[in-house]
Amino acid sequence: MVLGLVQLQLPVVETPEQVASQTQRIVDMVGKARRSYPGMDLVVFPEYALHGLSMSTADELMVSLDGPEVAAFKAACVEHKIWGCFSIMEKNPEGNPYNTGIIIDDQGELKLYYRKYHPWIPVEAWEPGNMGIPVITGPKGVKLALIICHDGMFPEMARECAYKGAEVMLRTAGYTAPIRHSWQITNQANAFQNLMVTASVCLCGSDGTFDSMGEAMVCNFDGTVMVQGGSRPDEIVCAEIRPDLIREAREHWAVENNIYQLYHRGYVAVKGGAQDCPYTFMHDMVNGQFQLPWEDKVVYTDGQSCGFAAPTRTYVGNVPNLLTPQERAADAKE
């Protein structure tokens, strides 16, 4: 599978007219991707590609799945016979908007729909995601997952993607330069710890206030960097993914097959390994008792430092439609 990561110029979007203009710009970049790389299967746009970094939650700027923006993205994928990954800030009648990522196939069908689990708090006011982390069969039969920006700083996110069968994890972002080092090491670690390719891209350039860093990068399943972009806006960084090698590593690696060993630790000493859950934080999260030793000393616990009012609603999440291990295994064989 050939994918392209678009280091899209950071836009200024403050009006509905600018949303429409930026929609057309993204559509035009889909065309550029196809012309530049005739063999490309999937083109990936960064987080905030449509909305910029204003962090505005104004209703007139928000987008719906059935709105004209997503319709334009679908039409572009059909016209250019390519899969596309896009970012929208999604209207939410029940509260703050969602930071949403979608993947559309070359027939214009919505194949993946994900709401960002971990907003970049206290800076971002988006509602936390409540639909699980989907994994789909993408171009050339490659299993794809999508996470968004700050999600990638949590190793549990990448582990969940791989556990559900993802061979390639996309990470779209709007990060600025101070995050560069953390961006690179987490992209590499997420790949190696899960024997999974990570393909990650940020916005690029300046909007007159913020400077996004670009830094598109594809990391192989052993953690090495296959290709990496710099800070040139609108550059499309391209890579070829070999899912057969990912599958081979997951089946044949021994000492560094860490995602397998997580639940089969010490299998040389005991039959099948220790199949327990020895981690205190996991038990505490499940039981609603997660509490850090320094919990009472944490300074920032809401968004008031960034100009947002203290929230009054309690989180109520939907129950995600999770597959059983048997259902996931059957799906992986398709």
222 in helix, strand or coil?
coil
pLDDT value at residue 317: 78
Q: Is 313 exposed, middle or buried (0-12, 13-18, 19+ CB in 10 A)?
A: exposed
pLDDT value at residue 325: 64
Helix segments in 238-301, DSSP class H: 243-252, 258-261, 280-286
What residues act catalytically? Answer: 47, 116, 149
For the residues of 21-78, what is the DSSP string, one character each? HHHHHHHHHHHHHHHH-TT--EEEPPTTTTTTT-----GGG-B-TTSHHHHHHHHHHH
Domains and CATH numbers, the chain: 2-261 (3.60.110.10)
The predicted model scores a pTM of 0.95
pLDDT in tens, the chain (334 residues): 999 999 999 999 999 999 999 999 999 999 999 999 999 999 999 999 999 999 999 999 999 999 999 999 999 999 999 999 999 999 999 999 999 999 999 999 999 999 999 999 999 999 999 999 999 999 999 999 999 999 999 999 999 999 999 999 999 999 998 899 999 999 999 999 999 999 999 999 999 999 999 999 999 999 999 999 999 999 999 999 999 999 999 999 999 999 999 999 999 999 999 999 999 999 999 999 999 999 999 999 999 999 999 999 999 877 565 565 666 666 656 5
